Amino acid sequence: MGLYIKDNFFNAGETEVRNEAGEHIGSVDLKSAWGSSLDVYNQDGQKVCSGKFRFFSNKWEVMNADEAVLGVLRMRISFFSKKYEYDAGERGTYEIVSPVFSKEYEILDEGGTKMASFRRVSGWFQSGAYHLENHSPALGDWELAAVVMGVHAIQKRKNNSAASST
């Protein structure tokens, strides 16, 4: 199933998650414009996942509804591509890669098999929206929604720190 996950322009408030038919199937609560944390809710309004930066760290933690850590996302150093690593514990470590100027990302398992993909889309999704396609038996749609928003948060944090250092 494909999901459309939308960010808000001011990085705060609730935003929709839609399926490919455009139907509302959940939401993301971007808790604060000043901090980077979020909760993901299903169609019934139940919290299913959350994500946040670790204290004084650039690592993004993804947790389930009970606040147990599902995995940790971090940026990898790369000169000719954008690379991230999602460590999902016993379920494996996944590499998230994108060519340097591309808006498309692939999520690969340890063997290099494509498990999911997401891309930045435009149109009515102006403030930053992503289309997620999940093919992984180990990673759920809601968990990957938090991972996608984590990639977005890491990029924003990196861009903000680069802008403030000049």
- Please give the CATH topology (third level) of the domain spanning 2-164: Porin (2.40.160)
CA atoms of 75 and 102, how far apart (whole Å): 16
pLDDT in tens, 86-135: 999 999 999 999 998 899 999 999 999 999 999 998 655 456 689 999 99
Q: What is the DSSP string of 63-132?
A: EETT--EEEEEEEE--SSEEEEEEE-GGG-EEEEEEETT-SEEEEE-TTS-EEEEEEEE-SS-TT-EEEE
pTM of the predicted structure, to 2 decimals: 0.90
pLDDT in tens, 59-79: 999 999 999 999 999 999 888
Locate the domains of the chain by residue range.
2-164
Phi-psi region of 142 (alpha: psi -120 to 50; beta: other; left: phi over 0): alpha
